[in-house]
Amino acid sequence: MSSIGTGYDLSASQFSPDGRVFQVEYAQKAVENSGTVVAIRGKDGIVFGVEKLVMSKLYEKGSNKRIFHIDRHIGMAVAGLLADARQIADIAREEAANYRSDFGGPIPSAVLADRVSMYMHAYTLYSFVRPFGCSVVLSSYDEDGPHMHVIEPSGVAYGYYGCAIGKGKQAAKTEIEKIKMKEMSMHELVNEVARIVYTIHDEVKDKAFELELSWVGKGTEGLHQFIPAEVQEEAEKLAKKSLEDSDSDEDM
Protein backbone atom coordinates (compact mmCIF):
# COMPACT_ATOMS: atom_id res chain seq x y z
CA MET A 1 0.00 0.00 0.00
CA SER A 2 1.44 3.32 -1.06
CA SER A 3 0.10 5.88 1.35
CA ILE A 4 0.39 4.15 4.70
CA GLY A 5 1.31 6.45 7.54
CA THR A 6 1.35 9.64 5.53
CA GLY A 7 -0.44 11.60 8.24
CA TYR A 8 -4.03 10.85 7.26
CA ASP A 9 -4.22 7.75 9.37
CA LEU A 10 -4.04 9.27 12.81
CA SER A 11 -7.77 9.42 13.48
CA ALA A 12 -10.98 7.99 12.09
CA SER A 13 -12.32 11.48 11.55
CA GLN A 14 -9.94 12.12 8.65
CA PHE A 15 -10.21 11.12 5.01
CA SER A 16 -7.08 10.54 2.97
CA PRO A 17 -6.75 12.44 -0.33
CA ASP A 18 -7.79 9.30 -2.19
CA GLY A 19 -10.98 8.98 -0.16
CA ARG A 20 -9.99 6.26 2.30
CA VAL A 21 -10.42 6.17 6.07
CA PHE A 22 -7.21 4.47 7.14
CA GLN A 23 -8.24 3.75 10.70
CA VAL A 24 -11.10 1.61 9.40
CA GLU A 25 -8.73 -0.22 7.05
CA TYR A 26 -6.32 -0.86 9.93
CA ALA A 27 -9.24 -2.26 11.93
CA GLN A 28 -9.93 -4.63 9.04
CA LYS A 29 -6.27 -5.72 9.24
CA ALA A 30 -6.86 -6.73 12.84
CA VAL A 31 -9.64 -9.01 11.64
CA GLU A 32 -7.41 -10.51 8.97
CA ASN A 33 -4.86 -11.50 11.58
CA SER A 34 -7.29 -13.57 13.60
CA GLY A 35 -8.32 -17.21 13.35
CA THR A 36 -10.79 -18.00 10.58
CA VAL A 37 -14.57 -18.16 10.93
CA VAL A 38 -16.41 -20.26 8.36
CA ALA A 39 -20.20 -19.88 8.21
CA ILE A 40 -22.52 -21.62 5.76
CA ARG A 41 -26.25 -21.23 5.24
CA GLY A 42 -27.94 -24.40 4.05
CA LYS A 43 -31.47 -25.44 3.25
CA ASP A 44 -32.84 -25.25 6.76
CA GLY A 45 -30.07 -24.07 9.04
CA ILE A 46 -26.74 -22.33 9.48
CA VAL A 47 -23.50 -23.75 10.86
CA PHE A 48 -20.61 -21.73 12.31
CA GLY A 49 -17.09 -23.12 12.48
CA VAL A 50 -14.38 -21.16 14.25
CA GLU A 51 -10.66 -21.90 14.04
CA LYS A 52 -9.78 -20.81 17.56
CA LEU A 53 -5.98 -20.51 17.65
CA VAL A 54 -4.55 -21.67 20.96
CA MET A 55 -1.51 -19.65 21.95
CA SER A 56 -0.44 -21.74 24.90
CA LYS A 57 -0.83 -25.33 26.06
CA LEU A 58 -1.54 -23.96 29.50
CA TYR A 59 -4.93 -22.54 28.51
CA GLU A 60 -8.02 -24.27 29.83
CA LYS A 61 -9.82 -26.01 26.98
CA GLY A 62 -12.98 -24.21 25.93
CA SER A 63 -12.03 -20.83 27.33
CA ASN A 64 -12.31 -17.59 25.34
CA LYS A 65 -15.15 -18.80 23.18
CA ARG A 66 -15.60 -16.94 19.93
CA ILE A 67 -19.21 -17.90 19.41
CA PHE A 68 -21.89 -16.09 21.43
CA HIS A 69 -25.61 -16.51 22.00
CA ILE A 70 -27.63 -13.37 21.34
CA ASP A 71 -31.13 -13.97 22.72
CA ARG A 72 -32.19 -17.58 22.23
CA HIS A 73 -32.53 -17.64 18.48
CA ILE A 74 -29.48 -15.74 17.20
CA GLY A 75 -25.84 -16.81 17.13
CA MET A 76 -22.81 -14.56 16.70
CA ALA A 77 -19.35 -15.71 15.63
CA VAL A 78 -16.48 -13.21 15.72
CA ALA A 79 -13.07 -12.65 14.17
CA GLY A 80 -10.60 -10.00 15.32
CA LEU A 81 -9.97 -8.46 18.71
CA LEU A 82 -11.91 -10.61 21.15
CA ALA A 83 -12.37 -7.87 23.74
CA ASP A 84 -13.93 -5.58 21.12
CA ALA A 85 -16.15 -8.44 20.02
CA ARG A 86 -17.42 -9.00 23.55
CA GLN A 87 -18.57 -5.38 23.60
CA ILE A 88 -20.47 -5.94 20.33
CA ALA A 89 -22.08 -9.06 21.76
CA ASP A 90 -23.22 -7.08 24.81
CA ILE A 91 -24.75 -4.38 22.62
CA ALA A 92 -26.45 -6.96 20.44
CA ARG A 93 -27.93 -8.65 23.51
CA GLU A 94 -29.19 -5.32 24.80
CA GLU A 95 -30.81 -4.52 21.47
CA ALA A 96 -32.46 -7.92 21.30
CA ALA A 97 -33.78 -7.61 24.86
CA ASN A 98 -35.10 -4.09 24.27
CA TYR A 99 -36.81 -5.22 21.08
CA ARG A 100 -38.56 -7.98 22.97
CA SER A 101 -39.65 -5.55 25.64
CA ASP A 102 -40.87 -2.91 23.17
CA PHE A 103 -42.49 -5.07 20.54
CA GLY A 104 -43.37 -8.28 22.35
CA GLY A 105 -41.38 -10.75 20.22
CA PRO A 106 -37.90 -11.93 19.17
CA ILE A 107 -35.84 -9.55 17.06
CA PRO A 108 -35.45 -10.60 13.40
CA SER A 109 -31.72 -11.07 12.75
CA ALA A 110 -31.86 -8.72 9.74
CA VAL A 111 -33.10 -5.96 12.05
CA LEU A 112 -30.39 -6.79 14.59
CA ALA A 113 -27.73 -6.76 11.86
CA ASP A 114 -28.94 -3.29 10.90
CA ARG A 115 -28.67 -2.02 14.45
CA VAL A 116 -25.27 -3.58 15.14
CA SER A 117 -23.93 -2.14 11.91
CA MET A 118 -25.22 1.33 12.85
CA TYR A 119 -23.48 0.99 16.21
CA MET A 120 -20.18 -0.17 14.72
CA HIS A 121 -20.34 2.56 12.09
CA ALA A 122 -20.74 5.23 14.75
CA TYR A 123 -17.28 4.40 16.05
CA THR A 124 -15.76 5.22 12.64
CA LEU A 125 -16.86 8.84 12.75
CA TYR A 126 -14.91 10.38 15.63
CA SER A 127 -11.31 11.02 16.59
CA PHE A 128 -11.73 10.25 20.27
CA VAL A 129 -12.71 6.59 19.78
CA ARG A 130 -11.29 3.93 17.51
CA PRO A 131 -13.28 1.58 15.26
CA PHE A 132 -14.05 -1.93 16.50
CA GLY A 133 -11.31 -4.35 15.48
CA CYS A 134 -13.67 -7.23 14.77
CA SER A 135 -16.10 -8.60 12.19
CA VAL A 136 -19.18 -10.41 13.40
CA VAL A 137 -21.42 -13.00 11.74
CA LEU A 138 -25.05 -13.18 12.89
CA SER A 139 -27.28 -16.17 12.20
CA SER A 140 -30.86 -17.15 12.93
CA TYR A 141 -33.67 -19.37 11.69
CA ASP A 142 -37.37 -18.49 11.61
CA GLU A 143 -40.53 -19.22 9.59
CA ASP A 144 -38.93 -17.55 6.59
CA GLY A 145 -35.89 -19.82 6.71
CA PRO A 146 -32.25 -19.30 7.73
CA HIS A 147 -30.68 -15.81 7.75
CA MET A 148 -27.00 -14.87 7.93
CA HIS A 149 -25.34 -11.45 7.99
CA VAL A 150 -21.75 -10.27 8.34
CA ILE A 151 -20.86 -6.86 9.79
CA GLU A 152 -17.38 -5.46 9.20
CA PRO A 153 -15.49 -2.80 11.21
CA SER A 154 -16.57 -0.17 8.69
CA GLY A 155 -20.20 -0.81 9.64
CA VAL A 156 -21.35 -2.34 6.35
CA ALA A 157 -23.53 -5.42 6.64
CA TYR A 158 -24.31 -7.96 3.95
CA GLY A 159 -26.50 -11.06 3.89
CA TYR A 160 -24.70 -14.23 2.85
CA TYR A 161 -25.18 -17.86 1.87
CA GLY A 162 -21.60 -18.66 2.76
CA CYS A 163 -18.84 -16.55 4.20
CA ALA A 164 -15.42 -16.65 5.77
CA ILE A 165 -13.58 -14.00 7.76
CA GLY A 166 -10.11 -14.02 9.30
CA LYS A 167 -6.69 -15.12 8.14
CA GLY A 168 -7.75 -18.12 6.08
CA LYS A 169 -10.70 -16.46 4.42
CA GLN A 170 -9.44 -16.61 0.83
CA ALA A 171 -8.72 -20.33 1.02
CA ALA A 172 -11.99 -20.93 2.86
CA LYS A 173 -14.02 -18.97 0.30
CA THR A 174 -12.55 -21.10 -2.48
CA GLU A 175 -13.68 -24.23 -0.61
CA ILE A 176 -17.10 -22.79 0.18
CA GLU A 177 -17.77 -21.88 -3.43
CA LYS A 178 -17.29 -25.51 -4.40
CA ILE A 179 -20.13 -26.88 -2.31
CA LYS A 180 -23.82 -26.78 -3.13
CA MET A 181 -24.92 -25.32 0.17
CA LYS A 182 -28.50 -24.42 -0.68
CA GLU A 183 -29.56 -28.07 -0.73
CA MET A 184 -27.56 -29.28 2.24
CA SER A 185 -29.04 -30.26 5.57
CA MET A 186 -27.60 -29.09 8.88
CA HIS A 187 -25.73 -32.35 9.51
CA GLU A 188 -24.14 -32.28 6.08
CA LEU A 189 -23.11 -28.69 6.70
CA VAL A 190 -21.42 -29.55 9.99
CA ASN A 191 -19.14 -32.05 8.28
CA GLU A 192 -18.37 -29.62 5.46
CA VAL A 193 -17.61 -26.74 7.81
CA ALA A 194 -15.34 -28.89 9.98
CA ARG A 195 -13.54 -30.18 6.90
CA ILE A 196 -12.99 -26.68 5.54
CA VAL A 197 -11.60 -25.35 8.82
CA TYR A 198 -9.16 -28.24 9.06
CA THR A 199 -8.16 -27.81 5.42
CA ILE A 200 -7.35 -24.11 5.67
CA HIS A 201 -5.58 -24.33 9.01
CA ASP A 202 -1.89 -23.61 8.50
CA GLU A 203 0.05 -26.18 10.52
CA VAL A 204 3.32 -24.41 9.96
CA LYS A 205 2.45 -20.86 11.01
CA ASP A 206 -0.18 -21.57 13.69
CA LYS A 207 0.27 -24.65 15.79
CA ALA A 208 -2.66 -25.74 17.85
CA PHE A 209 -6.28 -24.82 17.36
CA GLU A 210 -9.64 -25.73 18.83
CA LEU A 211 -12.60 -26.11 16.53
CA GLU A 212 -15.72 -24.36 17.84
CA LEU A 213 -18.95 -25.42 16.15
CA SER A 214 -22.49 -24.14 16.56
CA TRP A 215 -25.72 -24.34 14.62
CA VAL A 216 -29.21 -22.89 14.42
CA GLY A 217 -32.02 -24.18 12.26
CA LYS A 218 -35.04 -26.39 11.88
CA GLY A 219 -33.30 -29.22 13.69
CA THR A 220 -32.80 -27.05 16.76
CA GLU A 221 -36.28 -25.51 16.43
CA GLY A 222 -34.82 -22.11 15.85
CA LEU A 223 -32.62 -22.11 18.96
CA HIS A 224 -28.91 -21.34 18.61
CA GLN A 225 -26.85 -24.11 20.20
CA PHE A 226 -23.30 -25.37 20.41
CA ILE A 227 -23.08 -28.63 18.51
CA PRO A 228 -23.48 -31.76 20.68
CA ALA A 229 -20.21 -33.47 21.58
CA GLU A 230 -20.90 -36.68 19.57
CA VAL A 231 -21.72 -34.75 16.40
CA GLN A 232 -18.60 -32.64 16.82
CA GLU A 233 -16.38 -35.67 17.41
CA GLU A 234 -17.73 -37.36 14.31
CA ALA A 235 -17.23 -34.23 12.21
CA GLU A 236 -13.64 -33.73 13.41
CA LYS A 237 -12.82 -37.38 12.76
CA LEU A 238 -14.12 -37.12 9.19
CA ALA A 239 -12.28 -33.84 8.70
CA LYS A 240 -8.95 -35.26 9.86
CA LYS A 241 -9.49 -38.30 7.67
CA SER A 242 -10.19 -36.22 4.57
CA LEU A 243 -7.02 -34.22 5.30
CA GLU A 244 -4.96 -37.43 5.40
CA ASP A 245 -6.59 -38.69 2.21
CA SER A 246 -5.83 -35.48 0.35
CA ASP A 247 -2.27 -35.43 1.73
CA SER A 248 -1.65 -38.94 0.53
CA ASP A 249 -2.97 -37.95 -2.91
CA GLU A 250 -0.18 -35.44 -3.41
CA ASP A 251 2.60 -36.38 -5.75
CA MET A 252 6.07 -36.40 -4.20
Contact positions vs another protein (CB under 8 A): 102-105, 108, 110-111, 114, 143
- Residue 157's contacts (CB-CB under 8 Å, 6 or more residues apart) are 113, 114, 116, 117, 149, 150, 151
Distance CA 131, CA 33 (A): 16
**Least CB distance to another protein at residue 110 (A):** 7
The one-character DSSP state at 115 is H
**Least CB distance to another protein at residue 44 (A):** 18
* Helix, coil or strand: residue 210: strand
Q: Is the separation of the CB atoms in 190 and 215 below 8 Å?
A: yes
**Least CB distance to another protein at residue 204 (A):** 47
Query: Which of 123, 155, 118, 126 is closest to 11 using CA atoms?
Result: 126
**Least CB distance to another protein at residue 153 (A):** 23
Distance CA 5, CA 20 (A): 12
Q: Which is nearer to another protein, 17 or 105 (CB)?
A: 105
